[in-house]
Amino acid sequence: MQADVMWGSRWSENSLAMARVYMEAVCRKQSLVCLAADRSTMAELEQLIDEVGPYIAALKTHVDLVDDWSPDAWSAFCSKAADADLLIFEDRKFADIGGISRKQMSGIYDIRSWADLVTAHLISGPDIVDGLQAGWSDVGRQGGVLLLAQMSSRGNLLVPDYTGNVVSVGKNHAGVFGFIGNGSRPEELELLRKAVGDGKLIWTPGVNLAVGDGEMGQRYGDPREAVLAGSDCIIVGSGIHKAADPAGQAKAYADASWNAFVERCE
Ligand code: 5BU
């Protein structure tokens, strides 16, 4: 089925080109999975794309945790991701003032040149979004910002009032692709979706088929429940990359997310 029909008002009310690129990718791949590719060598990262590329719609990176990072190896990795039809999302969690965030898009990692999406906290005010967008403009590219409205880790300080403020600023900002919501708590996610409406996407970490507490305060919720509560993308890391059979697990997450999406559309 066509992406505009499947996504309905999420499609028609969203003005950001990158959001539609994602929505189309989901329908092509029948997966709402973004893989959190938290492996620490270039070879392991490349292997992950080979294994799970067909079952995921986007790839989330932490460029600064790779032990043997080099510009050439990273560029080859990004080409591989493009060949596998994947959006690249650098989970950098920018938080500085606008002008510095713009500069941080360049530097040694040059995030602006390869990332389609980045995360940011809104703690420093709305100019951070303009700064990040200026970073992409500086190299003639376009991208989208995901603002942290909630987090999945226990004891985080993104309390409901703060979440409300992030949403009210972000939902009216053209450079905002969407919001990060807490995938481990469907009831919190439902409230977030109500506040956000249909004009922006919500992506959710803290998702695992094994629901419960993870390492160091991470919390996990069920993929189907997250999508039914309003998540447009489940971000899954260790559930896939630490599995004995990453491809099999990636397919299981793809199926769970896609089936829940179809159920939500009915
Ligand atoms: P996990 O292995 O599925 O727990 O990995 C989760 C990933 O999502 C990891 O890369 C985190 O940096 C990322 N994350 C998160 O877990 N919780 C959050 O609130 C945000 C990002 Br924002």
DSSP structure string for 1-60: --HHHHHTHHHHT---HHHHHHHHHHHHHT--EEEE---SSHHHHHHHHHHHGGG-SEEE
Q: Which pLDDT value is given to residue 131?
A: 98
Q: Which pLDDT value is given to residue 15?
A: 77
Which pLDDT band holds residue 1 (cuts at 50, 70, 90)? Answer: confident
The domain defined by 3-265 folds into: TIM Barrel (3.20.20)
Map out the domains of the chain as residue ranges: 3-265
Q: Which pLDDT value is given to residue 16?
A: 87
The CA distance from 149 to 36, in Å, is 19
Which pLDDT band holds residue 168 (cuts at 50, 70, 90)? Answer: very high
* Average pLDDT value for residue range 87-108: 98
For ligand 1, say whether the CB of 237 is within 6 Å of any of its atoms: yes
What ligand 1 atom has the least distance to the C-alpha of 150?
A: 19
For ligand 1, say whether the CB of 152 is within 6 Å of any of its atoms: yes
What ligand 1 atom has the least distance to the C-alpha of 151?
A: 19
Lowest-pLDDT range of 10-14, 66-70, 86-90, 198-202: 10-14
- 100 and 91 Cβ atoms separated by less than 8 Å: no
pLDDT at 175 over 80: yes
Does the global pTM surpass 0.75? Answer: yes
pLDDT digits 0-9 by tens, 104-115: 999 999 999 999
